[in-house]
Amino acid sequence: MSEKIEKSRGSDLSSKFWRTFFILITAVLIFAGPTYFVLVLWRGLDLDYILSMAFGFSMFIVGLVLLVSLIKKKSIT
């Protein structure tokens, strides 16, 4: 019964849609987070450079943690 509840909460990575979704989110966080998002925050929104760089670095770290999580769950082979 607990498996059925867990699958209904969206933690099931066996479907192709969720696997692809999380892989794309991971790629965006790792590659676009520290580059383009920092540029948008810094130049577009006139946020402080150090603050935008810190936010970009944190997005990179979150992306790496998500990547390691996907590898451990064997969604990425």
pLDDT value of position 11: 56
Q: pLDDT by residue (tens digit) across 13-22?
A: 678 888 889 9
pLDDT value of position 56: 92
DSSP per residue over 2-55, as a string? Answer: HHHHHHHTT----SHHHHHHHHHHHHIIIIIIIIIIHHIIIIIS---HHHHHHH
Please check the confidence at residue 76 and state whether its pLDDT lies above 80: no
Q: pLDDT by residue (tens digit) across 28-68?
A: 999 988 889 889 888 988 889 999 999 999 999 999 999 99
Domain ranges of the chain: 27-77
**The pTM of the whole model exceeds 0.75:** no
**Dist CA 64 CA 72 (whole Å):** 12
Q: pLDDT by residue (tens digit) across 1-15?
A: 455 555 555 556 678
Burial profile 37-53: b = 16 or more Cβ within 10 angstroms, e = fewer: bbeebbeeeeeeeeebe
